[in-house]
Amino acid sequence: MQANASLLHPSKEALFYTKNHDHSIVCELCPRNCKVPHGGHGYCRVRVNRNGRYFSIVYNRPCAIHLDPIEKKPLFHVYPGTKAYSLGTVGCNLHCKFCQNWDIAQANPEEIPVPLKSPEAIAEAAFRQDARLLAFTYNEPTVFYEYMIDCAKAAAQRGIESVVISNGYMNDAPMKHLLPNVKAVKIDLKSFSPSFYRDICDGNRDPVLKTLKTIADAGTWLEIVCLLIPSLNDKDDEIQRLAAWVLKELGPNVPIHFTRYQPLYQLRNLPPTPAETLNRARQLAIKAGCRFVYTGNVPGLPGEDTPCYSCGKLLIRRYGYLIRENLIRDNRCPACHTIVPGIW
């Protein structure tokens, strides 16, 4: 694609690309593997080819920064009750018709002017605001990969760990390169159906499954979110197949969050997800053998809490993003002393 993005000065050479003799490049960061001619940009619109060299144009350019509860990511088994200094840029490597952050994820970089913030400035701001974590979120962090890694390294120097909130649409080599720099990853598994990924997200399902296995195999803490959209990905059969796959390939300790869809972007004709759909999905995954299954975006449902999978004692009580009670001590259930998987 030819680039309007050329309006922005490219600030950092990209990682993971190969050069061709004709000054085109192939970006190897995500499964799209965009071939980009000189003067063009990739599908995500935030990486541009200048005379056969590939650059990120969102490096140093976060367009959204907030101090969020870690529960909002959601990561329920990572330092409950702490704050994550959260940032994102414009751009995405999928095009989901239901995008919940479409105003930045589907924007062009030159449409949203932002002040420049170096990784050191981000780390300093996170430190000053007493953030326990740095979170890469809001849009897809894959597309600001170089900035993400440098911010994570700068934050680590200040004793702040990093978490990634991603669609999982990243190639294996960059994911393996990223993981030593982060403490936990949340992946949106948008559906278990390949046709959903193709027709609703303009992507493919299998690279996301591969990413999930890579993260689990690396031993990095992993949680999964499934946004349930009425009539599109909420059938019992699909949820059962998804839960069975998670159980077999990732194990019973990976939390799954079934969350409510709000009508946005190009799918406004569908209603919000009924609470009973979330409860039903949760019960199906528990029945399949998953130990930590949550509901989200509907405060007050029983699926917000964390019980001990061994004795059933209620360990963490939540309401929305609030922690009402946390009884976990030394990583264990206080009643039966079973270790509770997570980062406490």
Question: Where along the sequence are the contacts to ligand SF4 (CB under 6 A)?
Answer: 27, 29-30, 32-34, 42-44, 47, 93, 142-143
Which long-range CB contacts under 8 A does 333-336 form with residues at least 24 apart? 333/308, 335/308, 335/311, 336/308, 336/310, 336/311
Exposed, middle or buried, 293 (CB in 10 Å: 0-12/13-18/19+)? buried
CB of 150 to ligand SF4, least distance (A): 17
Three-state DSSP state, 282: helix
Three-state DSSP state, 315: strand
Report the candidate in 218, 59, 241 with the shortest Cα–Cα distance to residue 150: 59
CB of 89 to ligand SF4, least distance (A): 12
CB of 43 to ligand SF4, least distance (A): 4
139 or 295: CB nearest ligand SF4:
139
4 or 279: CB nearest ligand SF4:
4
By beta carbon distance, the residue nearest ligand SF4 is 42
30 or 70: CB nearest ligand SF4:
30
Give the H or E element holding residue 66: strand 64-69
CB of 336 to ligand SF4, least distance (A): 46
Q: How far apart (Å, rounded) are the C-alpha atoms in residues 321 and 197?
A: 29
CB of 192 to ligand SF4, least distance (A): 23
**Contact criterion met (CB below 8 Å) for 193 and 237:** no
CB of 140 to ligand SF4, least distance (A): 9
CB of 290 to ligand SF4, least distance (A): 31
165 or 301: CB nearest ligand SF4:
165
Exposed, middle or buried, 52 (CB in 10 Å: 0-12/13-18/19+)? middle
177 or 332: CB nearest ligand SF4:
177
DSSP string, 79-122: STT-EEEEEE-S--S---TT-TTHHHHTS-GGGS------HHHH
Three-state DSSP state, 141: helix
> Tokens representing 166?
């991603």
Q: How far apart (Å, rounded) are the C-alpha atoms in residues 40 and 25?
A: 10
CB of 58 to ligand SF4, least distance (A): 11
164 or 316: CB nearest ligand SF4:
164
41 or 257: CB nearest ligand SF4:
41
62 or 207: CB nearest ligand SF4:
207
For 264, phi and psi rounded to 5 degrees?
-145, 165
Give the H or E element holding residue 174: helix 172-178
